[in-house]
Amino acid sequence: MALIVQKYGGTSVGSVERIHRVAERVVQARQAGHDLVVVLSAMSGETDRLVRLAHEVTPCPDEREMDMLLSTGERVAIALLAMDLRGRGINARSFTGRQVGIITDSSHTKARIARVTAERIREALAGGIIPIVAGFQGINERSDVTTLGRGGSDLTAVAVAAALKADRCIIYTDVDGVYTADPNIVPSARRLDKVSYEEMLELASLGAKILQSRSVEFAARHGVPVEVRSSFKEGQGTLVTTEDMDMERVVVSGVTGDRHQAKITIIGVPDRPGIAARIFGPVAEANIIVDMIIQNVSQAELTDISFTVPRVDLGKAVTLVQRVAKEIEAKSVGVTDAIAKVSLVGVGMRSHSGVAARMFAVLSREGVNIMMISTSEIKISCVIDEKYLELAMRALHAAFGLDEASGREE
């Protein structure tokens, strides 16, 4: 008998009909003799609705109150599923993040998990009860509600699986696994049977929202075997696991696109030691993650610095940067959010050269201008004009032999 954590995403619990389908799956797994813990997201669209509501009330909602609001979506879903199961004579109980002891820091809206006590879950399992746990939420040391960042129910599932030393954590979603690119953007994308934690972490951080990147980081750190499957159809999914020889033979395993970044450019920055620290210090203190940075060669002791930040943090970042720009007597600050990042990911890049040059050639053939470039051992990213993102993804997917019809390039 295995202990399995099942997580169902928003689309999978998006209607009463779909909640019934999840209940049926839970019953099936139980009949197969497994011990089960179920983690749920809010019904699809609900978290977005609550975010919009908050912004209708005030342009810059307080982050503690935002968490209080957003955490309600998951509570609705868990109560409905628990009712459904109980109506079928199955002993299930819903629990909030607080009740199962998901203790986080106090970074509201993107809190990090400090520990998971899981006492109520263990108690429930021992009593033959199926715990239905609210994803995406925890509490800080003062018992204030926190949330774990968008897509954070994946992290709840992985963290609960790690705390319970579960045999598997299955992420049920609206596609049947991890693909070589988002199948909704690149129709010729193929499902991967296996993907390494490291590749999955890059894919997720670079825009593949199939798994929240922090959940992958957590799974890798605690060695939690994660499987991504469809909640709508039976069949094989994708196993996220440790790297093996097969994976290394493939140069590029996936293409991603990310529209969630924005670019800030400071023009006419005095080229002196200490200036970069003056600019990026306050941004880091405000908990804003800077992704790419480019500094031009200086002319007449002045230079331009461009960098990217998450679009959601753009307002906060611009206010800080404008203040510093004034203090250091830079000429001006420019902002654009019409950018996107296209990336290639693959552990095989470690042992293959020329991938970057080929990527640039493909983009140039499509007439796509590259604004920024960044590379690591297993990925290459280019910032481009947002309107070319889908074109760039499809062209790269085909050029690197990932399309369904083409044989995989080795």
State the residues that interact with Mg ion by CB under 5 A.
Answer: 9, 151
Nearer to ligand ADP, 154 or 313 (CB): 154
Closest separation between CB of residue 61 and ligand ADP, Å? 22
Percent helix, strand and coil across the chain, each to the nearest 5: 40, 25, 35
- Binding positions for ligand ADP, 7-46, rule CB under 6 A: 9-12, 41
Closest separation between CB of residue 92 and ligand ADP, Å? 20
Query: Which residue type occupies 363?
Result: L
Q: What is the DSSP string of 120-183?
A: HHHHHHHTT-EEEEE-SEEE-TT--EEE--TTTHHHHHHHHHHHHT-SEEEEEESSSS-BSS-T
For ligand ADP, the nearest residue by Cβ is 9
**Which one of ligand ADP, Mg ion, ligand ASP, none is in contact with 150 (Cβ closer than 5 to 8 A by kind)?**
ligand ASP
Map residues 108-147 to x or -, x wherever contact with ligand ADP holds by CB under 6 A. Answer: ----------------------------------------
Nearer to ligand ASP, 19 or 380 (CB): 19
- Is 241 a binding residue for ligand ASP by CB under 6 A? The answer is no
- Binding positions for ligand ASP, 126-185, rule CB under 6 A: 135-136, 150-154
Nearer to ligand ASP, 48 or 119 (CB): 48
Alpha helix segments (H runs only) across 223-307: 245-249, 275-285
**Which one of ligand ASP, Mg ion, ligand ADP, none is in contact with 42 (Cβ closer than 5 to 8 A by kind)?**
ligand ASP
Residue 350 phi, psi dihedral angles, 5° rounding: -55, -35
Nearer to ligand ADP, 177 or 317 (CB): 177
Query: Which residue type occupies 127?
Result: G
Which residue of 4, 5, 42, 116 would you call a contact of ligand ASP, by CB under 6 A?
Answer: 42
- Binding positions for ligand ADP, 198-257, rule CB under 6 A: 203, 208-210, 254
Which residue of 5, 66, 70, 178 would you call a contact of ligand ADP, by CB under 6 A?
Answer: 178
SS3 350: helix
Which residue of 35, 182, 198, 227 would you call a contact of ligand ADP, by CB under 6 A?
Answer: 182
Q: Is the dihedral of CA 70, 163, 118, 15 positive or negative?
A: positive
Q: Please state the length of the chain.
A: 410
Query: Which residue type occupies 174?
Result: D
- Contact criterion met (CB below 8 Å) for 395 and 362: yes
- Contact criterion met (CB below 8 Å) for 320 and 286: yes
- Contact criterion met (CB below 8 Å) for 213 and 197: no
CA distance 345 to 377: 9
Q: Which residues bind ligand ADP (CB under 6 A)?
A: 9-12, 41, 151, 173-175, 178-179, 181-184, 203, 208-210, 254
Residue ranges that bind ligand ASP, judged by CB under 6 A: 9-10, 41-42, 47, 73, 135-136, 150-154
